[in-house]
Structure 1
Amino acid sequence: MKTPPLQVSIETVTSIRAMLTALPPKPKTAFTARETVHAVADDIRAAIDLGYSLSDIAEHLAANGMKITAGTLASYLRELKATDRKVTRNLDRMPEAMAQDGTDADSANDERNASPMPAQPLAH
């Protein structure tokens, strides 16, 4: 015999919606290996500059509770470098006048895409 579907009143739905929208952000208490490497990338690069290899750094991370291979570490650092290159490339493409007057690329795109005609209400 099938169990009838649960019926929820509109008042309950409204109450649940209010409760869920009032929830504060839950603080993050754990991070992925990728997030951790991204957060400490400058420190990792500083250790490399001091002569440590990625294998050395991976061993130190493991000794401090983060098991990761040198290959994974290198991969995560490459991801960051690629992201940095994209940002730099986009900044390099920004017209010089925009860089000098403080106009950002998004507002320039908005201006280029703006209609020359003022907005008019739709006829009914």
Structure 2
Amino acid sequence: MDEVAVVQRRVILQAAFASAVLAGLAAFSGRWPEAWGVIIGTLVAILNFSLLARNLRSLIAEHPKRAQVKARLNYIGRYFLTAAVLFYSFTAPTLNMYAVVVGMLLIKAVILAGALFTFCKERLSLIFQHAPEERGDR
């Protein structure tokens, strides 16, 4: 597996775990529309994320003009998918629309949390790094 596929799989698994925790908490408290909303939103976000990764890989080998057209069509298609799910969640009594939105944002939250964790880890390692020669101490 290449590095991109490994990162993609890690992000998807982390989002699925976060979704399972949120849906479990909602179901445990008896809020089934919220639980189903988080699950559906996360599944759509994972589908969008996977489609984006697959389409970007195929666009690299294309001619620039053709790649631009394909990228626009893929972008519009993913937006229509998102809009259809949001419209369905708005009209369906068994889903909470806000929970669907939370589920859709979980992929972004996982990516941002990972970046923040990496940034903090790097900064802390610089702070606690023992480098007397850099400070001029001998």
More helix by share: 2
Larger radius of gyration: 1
Query: Same fold by TM-score, threshold 0.5 exceeded?
Result: no
TM-score for both structures, normalised by structure 1 = 0.30
TM-score for both structures, normalised by structure 2 = 0.28
